[in-house]
Amino acid sequence: MNAPLAALANDRFLRALKRQPVDRTPVWIMRQAGRYLPEYRATRARAGSFMKLCQTPELACEVSLQPVDRFPLDAAILFSDILTIPDAMGLGLSFAEGEGPRFARPLRSKQDIDRLGLPDMASDLGYVTDAVRMIRHELHGRVPLIGFSGSPWTLACYMIEGGGSEHFARAKSLLWDDPASAHRLLALLARTVAAYLGAQIAAGAQAVMVFDTWGGALSLPHYHEFSLRYLREVAALLPRGDGAARVPLILFSKGCGHSLEAQAETGADAIGLDWTIALDDARRRVGDRVALQGNVDPVVLYAGTSAIRAEAIRAVHDFGPHPGHVFNLGHGIHPTMDPEKLRLLIDTVHRESAALFASA
């Protein structure tokens, strides 16, 4: 079970998610454990394959801690992959170098969908919860630990396409041609995601996040029917405690700024924003219903130092001296980025926000 909040040396991230006052804006970065770090590349080479890295708790723990050891981040995130659930459902996940994920047995018929069942969290996904326990222990209360999952719609995209896709033609066609099967698949995935995140919480995750990476690929009506509906279902089913011990839930629907108000009504504690949404506008739209996380364009980290500082300062002032902001990029950090650019970004956010809160 989770240690009491008081055991944390740095609880800014959790306080911000609960819209409580902080002395400076907390920072963590999507894909903060990854290929831009030379120490990650060394561990990945030692593992021999990406799947081995994900499925070996000791190695997953090692790479989860690397960015926290290097940078003054305010949270750690479990190192894993969003496709662990489909793999546990028997679809046969593999990663070809330079080609991304592939499933040996994608869902290509109604019968394929009907055959799916809820995976067993202990036997099929125990390596993930083992990693959570190990990371939580090795953090020694320095910062909170985030667990995560892909969203039902995003997982369905990969399961139906058999991998990544430019247009998601098979997945989106299912929504028109056989909506009953689509809803059956998404309902099963919502139950699975909730159980999976619940298992991570039981193992020690102090916040959890759902990545709806491909929500923005849908039309507005389809987004509400086939993605947002099941994000609400995950939030409703997720066992995360009550009161002060309640574990916060972050939802991130990339490319879905059109529906912030509806996202704020899902039952989540925080909404992730990509870089196409202004923080001040988003805050006006959702009010104090949820915290906000985001949202600088990751590509700015290829720019010069003055541009990086300016973007960090802009984000801090766009949100303003209000509770409920977690700074992040608008999507994951790019693998060829200079790590010292990230240090500059983190330091600027911390310094600028501390001055802003002190003067407010």
Q: Which of 35, 170, 184, 314 is catalytic?
A: 35
Catalytic annotation present for 120: no
User: 72 by DSSP, 3-state: which?
Assistant: coil
Q: Which strands, in side-by-side order, build the sheet including 270-272?
A: 76-77, 145-150, 207-212, 249-253, 270-272, 291-296, 325-329
State the alpha helices, DSSP H only, in 206-248: 220-222, 229-237
∠ CA(112), CA(123), CA(148), 5° rounding? 80
Q: Can you give the three-state secondary structure of 122-147, one letter per residue?
A: HHHHHHHHHHHHHHHHHHCCCCCEEE
Gap between the Cα atoms of 314 and 300, Å rounded: 13
Question: Residue 181: which region, alpha, beta or left (left: phi > 0; alpha: psi -120 to 50)?
Answer: alpha
- Tell me how crowded residue 314 is: count the other CB atoms within 10 A of its CB: 14
Largest CA distance in the chain: 62
Hey, which residues does 150 pair with through a beta bridge? 211
Catalytic annotation present for 31: yes
Q: Looking at this protein, which amino acid is placed at residue 72? A: P
Q: Which of 15, 44, 102, 232 is catalytic?
A: 44
Cβ proximity of 300 and 278 under 8 Å? no
Catalytic annotation present for 81: yes
Q: Which of 11, 12, 74, 158 is catalytic?
A: 158
Catalytic annotation present for 158: yes
Q: Which of 11, 81, 87, 212 is catalytic?
A: 81
Peptide bond into 295 cis (omega under 30): yes
Catalytic annotation present for 44: yes
Gap between the Cα atoms of 242 and 236, Å rounded: 13
| Residue 322: burial class (beta carbons within 10 Å; 0-12, 13-18, 19+) | middle
Instruction: Report, as residue numbers or ranges, the catalytic residues.
Output: 31, 35, 44, 81, 158
